[in-house]
Amino acid sequence: MAADEEKTKKAASVNPMEVTVDTATMKMLAKAQAEGIETIFDRAKTMKPCNIGVEGICCKNCSQGPCRLPLTKKIREGVEEDNRMGLCGATPETIAARNFARMVAAGSAAHSDHGRGVAEVFLAAARKETEDYTIKDTKKLLQIAPDFDVAITVQEGDEEVPRDIFDIAEEVGEKALGEWGKQNGEILYAKRAPQPRYELWKKLGVIPRGIDREIVEIMHRTHMGVDQDYENLVAQCTRAALADGWAGSMIATDLQDVMFGTPYPTHGQINLGVLEQDKVNIVVHGHEPLLSEMIVVAVQDPEMIEYAKSKGANGIVLAGMCCTANEILVRHGMPIAGNYLQQELAIITGALEAMVVDVQCVMENLTNVAACYHTKIITTNPKAKIASGDAIHIEFDEHHALEDAKRIVKTAIDNFQNRKSEVMIPSEKETMVVGFSYEAINYHLGGTFRGSFTPLNENIINGRIRGIAGVVGCNNARTIHDSSHLIVVKELLKNDVIVLTTGCNAMACGKAGLLTPEAAAVYCGPGLAEVCETVGIPPVLHMGSCVDNSRILMAATEVVKAGGLGNDISEVPVAGCAPEWMSEKAISIGQYFVASGVYTVFGVTLPVTGAPVFQNHLFNELEDIYGGMWDLIEDPYEMAAKMIAHIDKKRQALGIDKARERVLMDMADRQKLEAV
């Protein structure tokens, strides 16, 4: 009893209004507190992070440590010399760089291992070893085949005829899978980058040889007593990160598109209000669409719907959580229940029959919360089981994928009659238009006859659009849920910067109504509003999940190719940010954006601040090397301002800054003018 009371007391300690800007989340936190359920929001208040770890200067790479090297005020101010070192002599620079590199390795591994799984299933589909997956988007297959040096025609006598689609797919699958184990040479997609970028990487010797090799090499180099030169470590970070963005993630995106369809604009709904009281509710949570694609099919099976009715339910709702949600949203318009910090809250509605999880961003606490309700947590991936609580494991195998999916759906239906606590589903749900792959942007902006990025470039050159921002990344319990995401995006829109989004930022934008064409008139400066209204697009373009950040790389490349905005990504008026990042994947993404020439700002904290020389390398020196660099800015207004300043710097270098001045002024200026 005393323990229960303690739990309730702890749970009551956080004020829902102070930790999120999302009203559905506030309501569910209030319900959690009333029912004595502790969530991540509560623990973020009661459990403080370690100051030394936050700054990146704790080394535990051997058992002589952990060696902790706090940065004192005197050292920071230059009053005292910085002669901090670990037992072995490792400097703060070495320690922070090694820690940073290991985050890149983990992030790149997570995305790339996802890609490997996709490539394996793709190959099984190409070889017709599975009935459940097939080659859906042949156009995209033909488009990517040349990048793998795969012929799309064959010689028949004197004639060159189209090659069998499944033969092409099999060779593409084999070549793609080969990218992981390659020991020498270059990843094949490196050549997709603008020519000068490719040449720069080649000159610097940072083109990844093979995906696995670069990740393993980070683990070797960061072992005790190996690479003790932070610049050399950062070069290896680049190799592993490029192996993520331009290989592991990009292959995942492409092969998923070929198997499940390239996203084109579609409608969707988002927030906890998508769950329905009288229906069986299933949430798929995690990252790989292989299983969720099958569950999408399973829940539409008339037999399953009948079965749900036989149990007293009015049908089945399938909703997504985290990036799995983005995957099934952009391809099928399936609803999203919420982003990362809402995963526990979906269970707290009391209306969730099953949460089906695979890999990444799945909180272990889900099982503790589920124990207070009837919800079944179902793990599906042999790499990702949960020891806490009563998770059930239904392993997913691509050879009988649909059968597995039906078993999972049936388990959820069987659980419908077990609801015990009071059900409370918040009413919040927003509609949105999503699915802007770069192919879709091409088509939308280019008009009916021929797709092209030229109109986008023209509008950037004439100043209606000031520049492009990629706003991506997670939620983080150390900062107000969704708040920084929305402030940064709204500031950018107000200043005529078009926003490309993925991951949990995309969901924050969706919940706030920013992913609708109507949002343009409300939030954008006049130039951007005019373009969005003419073309009929939202000012924030949802491009998919976190592996789909590769789509942003390709969109930036298309902008370069369309001409008029420089010869390389680093010359385009573009900036990126992750205002509420938390995952190691974000660090890998940040590094591949920087190495691709993009100014990239992170919010919250960055574990480099305890090593000023290393930090300076990332924040300043990298600009001379790659044309892109890191930054850390906690305040979202300042973050947007610095991104805009960078965009303006690029406009000036291109000589198009004058055009902009003639065309318009920003909202703040107009308000000032009106005030006068």
Q: Which residues bind ligand BF8 (CB under 6 A)?
A: 287, 322-323, 340, 361, 473-475, 503-504, 545-546, 583, 585
Distance CA 323, CA 204 (A): 34
Nearer to ligand BF8, 580 or 631 (CB): 580
9, 49, 60, 199: which one binds ligand SF4 (CB under 6 A): 60
Nearer to ligand BF8, 463 or 544 (CB): 544
Distance CA 571, CA 556 (A): 10
Q: How many CB atoms within 10 Å of residue 145?
A: 19
Tell me the three-class secondary structure of 154-205, residue by residue: EEECCEEEECCHHHHHHHHHHHHHHHHHCCCCCCHHHHHCCHHHHHHHHHHC
Distance CA 567, CA 14 (A): 51
Q: Rule CB under 6 A: say whether 477 interacts with ligand SF4.
A: no
| Alpha helical stretches, state H, 466-582 | 483-494, 503-511, 519-523, 526-535, 549-562
Q: Rule CB under 6 A: say whether 96 interacts with ligand SF4.
A: no
Residue that is written with structure tokens 């939620």 in the block: 475
Smallest gap from residue 423 Cβ to ligand BF8 (A): 26
- Answer whether 540's CB lies under 8 Å from 493's CB: yes
Q: Which helix (H) or strand (E) holds 540?
A: strand 540-542
647: which strand partners?
none
Q: Note the Cα 646 to chain centre separation in Å.
A: 23
Smallest gap from residue 213 Cβ to ligand SF4 (A): 24
Smallest gap from residue 285 Cβ to ligand BF8 (A): 9
64, 155, 431, 620: which one binds ligand SF4 (CB under 6 A): 64
Nearer to ligand SF4, 58 or 348 (CB): 58
Smallest gap from residue 51 Cβ to ligand SF4 (A): 18
11, 59, 169, 471: which one binds ligand SF4 (CB under 6 A): 59
Nearer to ligand BF8, 61 or 339 (CB): 339
Residues 207-236 binding ligand SF4 (CB under 6 A) are: 224
Q: Rule CB under 6 A: say whether 389 interacts with ligand SF4.
A: no
Q: Which two tokens stand for residue 663?
A: 């065309």
Distance CA 135, CA 138 (A): 7
Q: Which does 96 bind (CB under 5 to 8 A by kind): ligand SF4, ligand BF8, none?
A: none
Smallest gap from residue 96 Cβ to ligand SF4 (A): 11
Q: Rule CB under 6 A: say whether 67 interacts with ligand SF4.
A: yes
Of 56-64, 386-394, 439-447, 487-495, the window that binds ligand SF4 (rule: CB under 6 A) is: 56-64
Q: Which does 585 bind (CB under 5 to 8 A by kind): ligand BF8, ligand SF4, none?
A: ligand BF8
Q: Rule CB under 6 A: say whether 275 interacts with ligand SF4.
A: no
Smallest gap from residue 72 Cβ to ligand SF4 (A): 18
Contacts of 639 by beta carbon, 8 Å cutoff, 6+ apart: 484, 488, 577, 579, 601, 603, 633
Distance CA 520, CA 246 (A): 32
Q: Rule CB under 6 A: say whether 101 interacts with ligand SF4.
A: no
Smallest gap from residue 52 Cβ to ligand SF4 (A): 12
Q: Which does 240 bind (CB under 5 to 8 A by kind): ligand BF8, ligand SF4, none?
A: none
Q: Which does 340 bind (CB under 5 to 8 A by kind): ligand SF4, ligand BF8, none?
A: ligand BF8
Q: Rule CB under 6 A: say whether 610 interacts with ligand SF4.
A: no
Distance CA 375, CA 355 (A): 7
Contacts of 241 by beta carbon, 8 Å cutoff, 6+ apart: 104, 107, 108, 588, 589, 590, 591, 592, 595
Smallest gap from residue 98 Cβ to ligand SF4 (A): 8
Q: How many CB atoms within 10 Å of residue 303?
A: 10
Distance CA 251, CA 189 (A): 9
Smallest gap from residue 124 Cβ to ligand SF4 (A): 43
Q: Which does 64 bind (CB under 5 to 8 A by kind): ligand SF4, ligand BF8, none?
A: ligand SF4
357: which strand partners?
285, 379
467: which strand partners?
497
Q: Is 131 exposed, middle or buried (0-12, 13-18, 19+ CB in 10 A)?
A: exposed
Q: Which does 111 bind (CB under 5 to 8 A by kind): ligand SF4, ligand BF8, none?
A: none
Q: Which does 504 bind (CB under 5 to 8 A by kind): ligand BF8, ligand SF4, none?
A: ligand BF8
Of 65-73, 144-152, 247-255, 569-577, the window that binds ligand SF4 (rule: CB under 6 A) is: 65-73
Query: Apex CA 666: angle with CA 662 and CA 667, to 5°?
Result: 140
| Alpha helical stretches, state H, 397-453 | 401-414, 438-446
Q: What are the C-alpha distances in Å from 541 to residues 401, 489, 544?
A: 32, 11, 9
Smallest gap from residue 529 Cβ to ligand BF8 (A): 28
- Answer whether 562's CB lies under 8 Å from 456's CB: yes
Q: Which two tokens stand for residue 219?
A: 């683990």
Q: Note the Cα 221 to chain centre separation in Å.
A: 27
Nearer to ligand BF8, 105 or 126 (CB): 105
With contacts defined by CB under 6 A, how many residues of the chain interact with ligand SF4? 14
Q: Which does 224 bind (CB under 5 to 8 A by kind): ligand SF4, ligand BF8, none?
A: ligand SF4
17, 34, 87, 653: which one binds ligand SF4 (CB under 6 A): 87
Smallest gap from residue 611 Cβ to ligand SF4 (A): 12
Of 21-29, 54-62, 156-164, 176-184, the window that binds ligand SF4 (rule: CB under 6 A) is: 54-62
Smallest gap from residue 75 Cβ to ligand SF4 (A): 17
Peptide bond into 66 cis (omega under 30): yes
Q: Which does 583 bind (CB under 5 to 8 A by kind): ligand SF4, ligand BF8, none?
A: ligand BF8
Q: Rule CB under 6 A: say whether 668 interacts with ligand SF4.
A: no
Smallest gap from residue 79 Cβ to ligand SF4 (A): 25
Q: Rule CB under 6 A: say whether 53 interacts with ligand SF4.
A: no
Residues at the site binding ligand SF4, with contacts judged by CB under 6 A = 59-62, 64-67, 86-88, 90, 95, 224
